[in-house]
Amino acid sequence: MLKNGFIAVVLSAFILMQMASGALIYPNTMTEDNKIAIDDVVRHAVEDTGWILASSRNEMERVLSPIFAEPYLSEKCESALSFVSVPTGWEYETRVINITITEIYGNEAAVIVDIMETDQITGTAYLSRLQYVLRKTGDGWKITGVR
């Protein structure tokens, strides 16, 4: 009995210290709705090429803001604007092969994405793997970075 009481006191003290230090303890929130929403935003980020038609910062932000959250959104807008400002012969189709959600805790998530990029002229395909970090916002899940 004393042993169980001691464990409860130590556990309670640990939780209070974590809360006081600013660390939050979230329950696992890997619901089917979260899985679907995360899958949708990741596929959108990889497969949608609408950003290629953007010609201004505002237009690029409008296209990318449903997918990316700040500060990563600004970074993505800048790199995408740099890319579209120079004429290229970019003829690639990019597709998600597999998405593995490695963790969802509260409003944070991490995924591993296998991507196939196919050169539409030569047919050469390239397989790559990314790890995205996401945060659930008032507008849904958004990508906040890549590892």
Q: What pTM was computed for the model?
A: 0.77
**Candidate ranges 1-10, 49-58, 109-118; pick with highest mean pLDDT:** 109-118
SS3 for 102? strand
pLDDT value, residue 5: 59
Q: Is the pLDDT of residue 23 over 80?
A: no
Confidence of residue 109 (pLDDT cuts 50, 70, 90): very high
Nearest to 112 by CA among 126, 127, 123, 125: 127
Report in angstroms the alpha-carbon separations of 118 from 16, 22, 43, 57. Answer: 52, 45, 16, 28
Do residues 103 and 133 lie in contact, with contact meaning Cβ atoms separated by under 8 Å? no
Domain range list for the chain: 27-146
Confidence of residue 3 (pLDDT cuts 50, 70, 90): low
Q: Is the pLDDT of residue 123 over 60?
A: yes
> Could you tell me which residues come within 8 angstroms of residue 29 by beta carbon, excluding any fewer than 6 positions away?
104, 105, 106
Mean pLDDT (the chain, rounded)? 85
Confidence of residue 86 (pLDDT cuts 50, 70, 90): confident
Distance in angstroms (rounded) separating the CA atoms of residues 74 and 37: 22
pLDDT value, residue 12: 54
pLDDT in tens, 62-76: 999 999 999 999 999
Between 29 and 70, the higher pLDDT residue? 70
Q: Would you tell me how many other CB atoms lie within 10 Å of the CB of residue 65?
A: 15
The correct answer on CATH 3.90.180.10 for the domain covering 27-146 is: no
Do residues 109 and 36 lie in contact, with contact meaning Cβ atoms separated by under 8 Å? no
